[in-house]
Chains A and B, each alone.
Chain A
Amino acid sequence: MDTGATSFEGHLVAAQFGDETGYAMLWRELNPPLLRYLQVAAAGAAEDLASETWLQVVRGLKEFRGDEAGFRSWLFTIARHKAHDWHRQQGRRPTAPLDDVATAAIQGTDNTEESAIAAMGTQAALKLIASLPPDQAELLILRVVAGLEVADVARIVHKSPGAVRVGTHRALHRLRQLLADDVFERTYAPEVVTL
């Protein structure tokens, strides 16, 4: 854990000094969760908003002072603002049309069976989470996928830590309920094999 944090922050400092490798390491580590967050928070614009988020990170990188948690918080704060701006422009509530994203993710892989299945599993999980009320889905993604602590999430979404915990727990209960409703369908899904 310590070594991971140290190496992340080493990459962060390197990137702040203009080192491309350092920046690449940050990007590889955080672009997947960023994309996943945006797929839930702004389905249909995830790729574009992720690029815009990274652009803003690059602009402010030299001025950033903080550790790994601070950087993650900063990144997802920017992404959240991008998602909100996007929704304002779209004039509609978040929806969950993740099929295109899932298909693209699978087609974009090297088509080994494992990675296709992995992509399918991740995208299906995101789609399920996206079917939760938007506030709850966001909390769950920020906690689980972005790996942020309660206090960090609270700052990002402008809620109290207690409200974040309760909201996250509600999301879990809803998820459990959703899955329990399908308890008799816990069977092998044949169309997955065709992927």
Chain B
Amino acid sequence: MKLLRNAKWWSSVLRREMPPPTFRRRSVEPTDFHQLDQLVATGTVPAGLDSDWEAVSEVLRDAKAPAVPAELTGETAALSSFRRAQIGVPSRRPHQRPRMLSAFITGKLAALALCTTAGVGTVATAAYANALPTPIQGLAHSAIGAPAPHESSDHADGPVVAPASPPPSSHRPEITVSPTHHSEPPRPTETHSSHPATQTGSTETKTSADVGPLSLCLAYHAAVEHHTALAAAMQARLVTFAGGTENIVAFCTKLLTPILRPTATHSETHVSATPTPAEHPITTSVAVGLCNAYRHGTLPTQYIGRLNELAGGADHVAAFCAAMPTPTTGPEPTHSSAPPTEPPSSPVH
């Protein structure tokens, strides 16, 4: 009751019509300055001010009172946006188009992610084991095993990542450079034992949980994007890989970022060093995966443009996908089989 009476007495001010501004324009006496600064800073009336300032200080304290639950209800959505940004899913920039190669790789990842989240374990595993071309696996390997072969901050500032319209300088406060922000990224985990290469020859039962960290992270990405939960077995496995639930995002970001966002240097190096046949599995898997999602109506909007490109135009998507095999038994494990209907595509610009 004391709380009610004390905190709320001035709320009566609000219940009646606000009077027209009858305030006298009064100058602020210089003698007030420090005391009023103190009132603002501490929320308590400093010595030397009249006791009727208590009412003001009470309003200030109420204004900065601890958060109420209603002010924290948006956390789930906020974290979802954050997660999307970490994985590279643009939030509201549909006009921005990724570069050709990264777009291809993204499509490839989408196909894998869709496979894994669809719960088709064999499909996921087969695609994972066979469809990843050497350069991509190399990238994945280096991302998993080697501690940061390329500075992660370089990736973060790379041309693909940079916002289409970075905050204008007027939006940025003066900031101090703090070199400690470039400190060591999350420590490497013991994922080397579960590298894709070791799983390729595995004779274990191919369950949905029996996939490597890359597939798990892709499935996680897809689950985040579709606001669904990861299958419990996959979740548990991913937690093991990441070394804890709280590390999943960092772990997967580290794993996926070099693949999603290759720098120009990496792109050129790996593409030029790759014989052209390696492009076929990418395109095949992308096309099969995208078309499969397209048929099921689960193709994320960000990949619609990719499918249109592959099909040679939005008008040709239906016919293009009709010619695609339905991956009920998984994509072709042989890397030399490219579908005849596949349009010519050049990931290198």
Contact = CB atoms under 8 A, between A and B. Distances in A.
- Of the candidates B43, B63, B73, B74, the one having the most CB atoms from chain A within 10 angstroms of its own CB is B63
Given A21-B246, A58-B85, A131 B40 contact: no
Given A104-B70, A155-B173, A172-B39, A19 B8 contact: no
Interface string A181-194: 11101111101110
Interface of A: 13, 15-21, 23-24, 27-28, 31-33, 35-36, 47, 50-51, 54-56, 58-67, 70, 73-74, 77-78, 81, 104-110, 115, 117-122, 124-129, 131, 140-141, 143-145, 147, 150, 152, 155-156, 165-166, 168-170, 172-183, 185-189, 191-193
Contact of B8 (A152, A169, A189): A189
A182 B253 CA distance: 57
Contacts of B62: 121-122, 124-125
A27 B75 contact: yes
B296 interface: no
Contacts, number: 249
A93 B79 CA distance: 33
Contacts of B253: 17-18
B167 A115 contact: no
A171 to B, nearest CB: 9
Given A33-B64, A121-B8, A178-B13, A81 B81 contact: no
A172 B40 contact: yes
B91 A70 contact: no
B67 interface: yes
A20 B75 contact: no
A165 B9 contact: no
A124 B14 contact: yes
Given A28-B67, A188-B4, A128 B173 contact: no
